[in-house]
Amino acid sequence: MAEGTFGTAVNCMDGRVQLPIINWMVDKYHLDYVDMITEPGPDKILAERDAEGTASIKRRVEISVTKHGSRLVVLVSHGDCAGNPVPEEVHLGQLRKAMELVRSWDLPVTIVGVWLDDKTWQPEIVAVISP
């Protein structure tokens, strides 16, 4: 097991969303490190259960949980997403579906769904699922 406290973020590959999420997670959850799993539009990939994309994300989340001891998975949706260019309300619906899918993986983690608007880049908690 790695030294330090880890959390896991399933985030868009968009460079604008990396630091806001890392900084927020470190501050809010008192983490030392954030394992960043990125894809273009991960909320859509998980909500629609894209087989290849979902399997890849799941494998990486499991590594973070089993090898780094992460007990927190933050799923991120954001405005102005090039990989999933849909309105906010669609993102939020996908985010909730993605959270339910991650819950079905039976990992010992808290799952937090977060929205980042493309104006302030401030994380807003949408929902939380405790283990």
Task: List the domain boundaries for the chain.
Answer: 6-129
Q: What gap in Å lies between CA 42 and CA 69, rounded to an integer? A: 22
What percent of the chain clears pLDDT 70, i.e. is strictly above it?
Answer: 100
CATH number of 6-129: 3.40.1050.10
For position 1, what pLDDT does the model report?
72
Q: How far apart are CA 62 and CA 70, in angstroms?
A: 9
> What average pLDDT does range 7-20 have in this prediction?
97
Amino acid occupying residue 108: P
pLDDT at 12 over 90: yes
Q: What CA–CA distances, in Å, run from 44 to 2, 4, 27?
A: 31, 31, 27
Q: Extract the tokens encoding 42.
A: 């991960």
Mean pLDDT calculated for residue range 29-55 = 97
The H or E element that residue 125 is part of is strand 123-129
